[in-house]
Structure 1
Amino acid sequence: MTKSMHISLKAGEKLFLNGAVFQADRKVTLELLNDATFLLESHVMQPEDTTTPLRQLYFVAQSLLVDPANADAARRLFFRHLAALMTTFSNPAILLNLDAVGRLVSEGRAFEALKALRGMFPQEEVVLACTQPHRAA
C-alpha cells in the first residue's frame, strides 16, 4: 500500500511533479495519494550554479526528476559523469559517497541521490580549496 505524502508550498513556490511544473498562487498543502516523482523548487539547481564537479553531477541527476521523458539519456550521462569523477577525486569519503550515490540512482532513488549529493557539497569545497594554488598577497 502506498503512503500519502503532504507537501507544503509557499505563495509563488514551484513544484516539479512528474515533469510538470506547478506554481502555488498562495500558501497551500498538497497531499500526494500515490507514488510520484517530484522536486521542490528549493532543491532545483540552476545551470549557472553548476560551478563544481559535484554540482554538475547533481544537475544531471535532477534532470531524472525534472524531465522524466528524457530520463534514459540523463541516466547514461549521469553514469558517464560519475565514472569520470571516480577517477578524478582521491578523497576516500567522497569516493565512498559517490559510490553510494551511483547505487541510489541505479535503484531508481534519484531524490535520495540528490540529498546525498547536497550533503557532499561542503566536503567538496574543502577538497577543492586544498587543491587551489595559493596566491601571494
Structure 2
Amino acid sequence: MSKSMQLTLRPGERIYINGAVLRVDRKVTLELLNDATFLLEGHVMQVEDTTTPLRQLYFVVQAILIDPRNAEGARHLFHRQWAVLSQTFKNQTVLDGLDTLAQQVIAGRTFEALRTLRGLFPIEDAILNSGSTRAA
C-alpha cells in the first residue's frame, strides 16, 4: 500500500494531476491516497520563461509530466535536446546533472528530473553571465 500525501493549495492555485489541470477557489488540503503524477503550479515553467537551454529542456520534461497523451513525442524531443546539451556543456557538474537527468527520465522519475534541472539553473546562469565559453 502506498503512503498518502497531503498537499495544501492557496485560493486560485493550480495543480496538474495525471494530465488534468485543477484550480481551487479557496484554500484546500488535498490528500492523494494512491500514486499520482502531479506538479504544483509553482514548479510549472511558462513558455516565456524558457530563455536558456536548460530551461527549454525543463519545459520538455514538464510536458512529459503534464501531458501524458503527448508524452512520447516529448520524450523524443527530450533525447534530442539532451544529446545536444551533453555535447555543448563543458562544466562537469552540469554534465553529471545531465547524466542523472537522463537516467531519471528513462526510469519514469519525471518529477525528480525536474528537481535535478532546477538545481542546475544557478550554474547555467553563472556560465551565461560570465560570458565565457570556457565555463560552459
TM-score past 0.5 threshold? yes
- Which residue of structure 2 lines up, in the alignment, with residue 111 of structure 1? 111
TM-score of the pair, normalised by structure 2 = 0.95
1:54-79 Cα deviation digits (max 9, x unpaired):
00000000001110111111111111
Instruction: Say if 2:59 is the partner of 1:59.
Output: yes
User: 1:132: Cα distance to partner?
Assistant: 5.6
Instruction: Say if 2:14 is the partner of 1:10.
Output: no
- Which residue of structure 2 lines up, in the alignment, with residue 25 of structure 1? 25
Q: What 5-or-longer segments of structure 2 have no aligned partner? A: none
Residues 42-121 of structure 1 correspond to what in structure 2 (within 5 A)? 42-121=42-121
1:81-106 Cα deviation digits (max 9, x unpaired):
00010011011110001100110001
Secondary structure at the residue paired with 1:3?
A: coil
Partners of 1:7 and 1:100 lie apart in 2 by 27
- Which residue of structure 1 lines up, in the alignment, with residue 129 of structure 2? 129
- Which residue of structure 2 lines up, in the alignment, with residue 39 of structure 1? 39
Tell me the matched-pair count: 133
Letter of the 1:47 counterpart: V
Structure 1 stretches of 4+ with a deviation exceeding 6 A read none
User: 1:24: Cα distance to partner?
Assistant: 0.7
User: 1:111: Cα distance to partner?
Assistant: 0.2
Partners of 2:67 and 2:106 lie apart in 1 by 17
Q: What 5-or-longer segments of structure 1 have no aligned partner? A: none
